[in-house]
Amino acid sequence: MAATDITRITPSGSRLRLGAGEIWRQRELLYFLTLRDIKIRYKQTLIGVAWAVLQPVLTTVIFTLIFSGWARFDTNDIAYPLFAMTGLTLWLFVQNAVSMASNSFVNNTNLVTKVYFPRLIVPLAATLAALFDLIFSIAVLAVLMIYYSAIPSPQILLVPVFMIFAFVLAAAVGTLLSALNVRFRDVKFAVPFFLQVWMIASPVFYPASMISEKWRLIFAINPMVGILEGFRSAIFNKPFDWPLIGVSVISLLLIAAVAVVIFRSMEDDFADVI
Amino acid sequence: MIEARGLTKIYQLGASNSRSLRDAVTGFLSRKNSSRETLIALDDVSFTISEGESVGIIGRNGAGKSTLLKILSRITPPTRGTASIAGRVGSLLEVGTGFHNELTGRENIYLNGAILGMRRSEIDARFDEIVAFSELEKFLDTPVKHYSSGMYMRLAFSVAAHLEPEVLIVDEVLAVGDLAFQKKSLGKMKDLGESGRTVLFVSHDMNSISRLCARAIWLRDGKIAVDSSAVETVAAYLHEQTLTGAERVWDDARSAPGNDVARIASLRVVNKKGETTPSPDIRESIGIEMVFDALASDKVLIPNLHFFDERGTCIFISHDWNSGWRERPRPAGRHKATAWIPGNFLAEGTISVTAAVSTYKPLMVHFIATDAVSFTVVDSLEGDSARGDYAGLLPGIVRPMLEWTNE
């Protein structure tokens, strides 16, 4: 038995790296934790997975009742229910992923205090588990598209790109909040409020064109702006607003980098402070 | 091989544990950091364990055993010092980590295996063995929330027992299940040790340490007290334990705590039959018997006892309020006072007792014998204590059996 792996244990220093290699080696753990999060999400509920359909459908109905009644937006010839549903598809994913991920350590205290593994796996598994609901949202969106005869163009092939951006954004914000939550339980109370404000600040139920031209790029510092606009352009065959998307993607990468740095600097102490 | 060099772990108490943002902000603003209390859990610990060696770690609660295992398992980093471990490390600080009540036995085997660092292919290969070991074939597709506590622990241990790392770090996880299963588990551990694996094993059970390990390290107050053969280390440890165990006798009056009014002679933890009991059953009442000499005959003397848990938290203080000696002076001579703690009141764990004799009008403490004796309350898993059928961690410093009514 050749002992090839050497584990070195040292006092915590600055380890500013993603540790992707280690996460890759432990991908099976990531898989099982994601599977667990999906399996238990709707356990002990009356209607189970139907919630994954009801959540986007009911929200779309409410938005439609409010915003196509008296507050009309210029949705660029897209039927409002369809417009709202495209926004909600990505937004509800980000919202669910961030709220699940931010509580992931607090809900898995004994994983942190009793076993070692790359800590990033925990919020990452929560984010991946939220993809399960996204599948149902996409199905609802597809049904709506058929109903409104919205015929996609080859541009729809870019849809996955914006989904990946949304995933990275959710993972970054969720990871950052999960680390802060370990130390400050205030996060638990702040997250729902933060998500509410974030939704209002994102073009979920209104188009980005509502914001005057000169403020639009500043508006796009919220990565959700570029992601949602790009997603809609890809689906409805509209021209892409590249400067807007560019600002959002740069902001997204900065947020992700900051999240990783903060997470890395905090993770060593998790077992001691949780 | 495990090589530890000067491992030190210092915990910041108080301010750093603040869990609310407001505390952190005010703490930062007022810069109270200098007055922060620290706890040295591990103090400059060095040792080398060769490949294939089985080493036991013993010591009282709070001596740093768990901290050492947590550092070697990479759960928490050391404050100072380094360690290196050659070979794939498997650590078992708890059985059933990550078990989820809603998942079935089968699902939990895979999840728990992955958490312990097993690959899926390894779990597949050993799946039948794990199931056979647990004797739970019929319940594999039942959610574990329907398992009894015994079944739950059996499944959890079975997964852990099939972990096959080159270096195994184990915290007191063997004391699960019924006696037959414990024996089986111990046998499994012995096999692992004999198959050339390096095993580091923490236990309070001196018998299993002597049986499983050739060498043992005794940690006292975060430092290595003795590092020798298991037999020698265990003997040295037990010798000291009896000194600060359930009985303490001050043979020499000159060194016994006291003044010219009262002096302690002995302190014992006893059961109803009057026998010294180091580890009373949680269901039985526990007596603390204090023998002291009154050296003057004109003082009202009130014996009092102070109980502390492992963290040093005062559980309660009790003084003799009902024996009639509250009002009248005690005659000179030997007195024996026993306080009875009811059964099903204290929680599991080690409790240390400080004994004193005071006079209240005016207040005067004649002697105080700090941490003179200690005892460990044990909660069996027989189901008729406050624990019921729950076998997991049950926090709290008291564990009363409350009356529950249902309508």
B252-273 pLDDT per residue, tens: 777 788 888 999 999 999 999 9
Q: Is B199 in contact with B55 (CB distance < 8 Å)?
A: yes
- List C-alpha distances in Å: A136 to A71, A72, A123, B309: 28, 28, 22, 53
What pLDDT is attached to residue B14?
Answer: 57
Q: What mean pLDDT comes out for the span A15-38?
A: 85
Q: Which H or E run contains B379? A: none
The pLDDT of residue A245 is above 50: yes
B88 CB near a chain A CB, below 8 Å? Answer: yes
* A116 to B103: CB separation less than 8 angstroms, yes or no: no
A111 CB near a chain B CB, below 8 Å? Answer: yes
B329 CB near a chain A CB, below 8 Å? Answer: no
Contacts of A194 in chain B (CB under 8 A): none
A110 CB near a chain B CB, below 8 Å? Answer: yes
What pLDDT is attached to residue B27?
Answer: 54
Q: Which H or E run contains B332? A: none
The tokens 């015994």 sit on which residue? B150
Q: Which residues contact B214 (CB under 8 A, 6 or more apart)?
A: B53, B54, B55, B229, B230
Residues 105-124 of B with CB under 8 A from A: 107, 110-111, 114-117, 119-120
DSSP letter string over B228-287?
A: EEHHHHHHHHHHHHHHTSSEEE---TTTSSB-SSEEEEEEEEE-TTS-B-SS-BTTS-EE
* A39 to B94: CB separation less than 8 angstroms, yes or no: no
The pLDDT of residue A17 is above 70: no
Residues 117-176 of B with CB under 8 A from A: 117, 119-120, 166
Q: How far is B269 from chain A (nearest CA, A)?
A: 34
Q: Is A174 in contact with A98 (CB distance < 8 Å)?
A: yes
Report the sign of the C-alpha dihedral through residues B235, B240, B245, B249, in that order.
positive
The pLDDT of residue A14 is above 70: no
Instruction: Report the chain A residue with the minimal C-alpha distance to residue B16.
Output: A273
Instruction: Report the chain A residue with the minimal C-alpha distance to residue B66.
Output: A114
Q: Is A21 part of a structural domain of the chain? A: no
Residues 221-240 of A with CB under 8 A from B: none
Rounded CA separation A227/A249 (Å): 8
* B76 to A114: CB separation less than 8 angstroms, yes or no: no
Range list for CATH 2.70.50.60 in chain B: 248-377
Which three-class secondary structure state does DSSP give residue B185? helix
Candidates A226, A3, A43, A135; CA nearest to B101 is A43
A269 CB near a chain B CB, below 8 Å? Answer: yes
Instruction: Tell me the pLDDT tens digit for each residue of B133-188.
Output: 888 999 999 999 999 878 888 898 888 888 888 898 888 765 555 667 777 777 77
Q: Is A9 in contact with B85 (CB distance < 8 Å)?
A: yes
* A115 to B51: CB separation less than 8 angstroms, yes or no: no
* A116 to B91: CB separation less than 8 angstroms, yes or no: yes
Identify which of A1, A9, A29 has the shortest CB distance to residue B166: A1
Q: Is A3 part of a structural domain of the chain? A: no
Rounded CA separation A89/A66 (Å): 19
What size, in residues, is chain A? 274
Contacts of B84 in chain A (CB under 8 A): 6-9
A189 CB near a chain B CB, below 8 Å? Answer: no
Instruction: Report the chain B residue with the minimal C-alpha distance to residue A1.
Output: B166
Contacts of B17 in chain A (CB under 8 A): 273
Contacts of B91 in chain A (CB under 8 A): 115-116
Give the number of other CB atoms < 10 A from CB of residue A10. Answer: 13
A182 CB near a chain B CB, below 8 Å? Answer: no
- Residue with more model confidence, B96 or A248: A248
Size of interface A-B (CB pairs under 8 A): 120
What pLDDT is attached to residue B18?
Answer: 47
* B87 to A5: CB separation less than 8 angstroms, yes or no: yes
Identify which of B82, B103, B117 has the shortest CB distance to residue A9: B82
Q: Is A2 part of a structural domain of the chain? A: no
Number of domains into which chain A is organized: 1
* B24 to A183: CB separation less than 8 angstroms, yes or no: yes
Q: Is B254 in contact with B260 (CB distance < 8 Å)?
A: no
Identify the CATH number of the domain defined by range B2-242: 3.40.50.300
Instruction: Report the chain B residue with the minimal C-alpha distance to residue A38.
Output: B103
Contacts of A12 in chain B (CB under 8 A): 77
Q: How far is A89 from chain B (nearest CA, A)?
A: 28
Query: Which residues span the domain enclosing A107?
Result: 26-273
A39 CB near a chain B CB, below 8 Å? Answer: yes
* pLDDT beneath 50: ranges in chain B: 15-19, 31-35
Exposure on the CB side of residue B1, measured as CA atoms within 13 A: 11
Q: Which H or E run contains B317? A: strand B314-319
Q: How far is A181 from chain B (nearest CA, A)?
A: 9
A6 CB near a chain B CB, below 8 Å? Answer: yes
For helices B149-161 and B105-115, angle between their N-to-C axes, nearest 10 degrees: 40
* B91 to A183: CB separation less than 8 angstroms, yes or no: no
Q: Exposed e or buried b for every residue in A85-101, given b needs 16+ CB within 10 A? A: bbbbbbbbbbbbbbbbb
Identify which of B83, B88, B111 has the shortest CB distance to residue A36: B111
Report the topology of domain B248-377: Coagulation Factor XIII; Chain A, domain 1 (2.70.50)
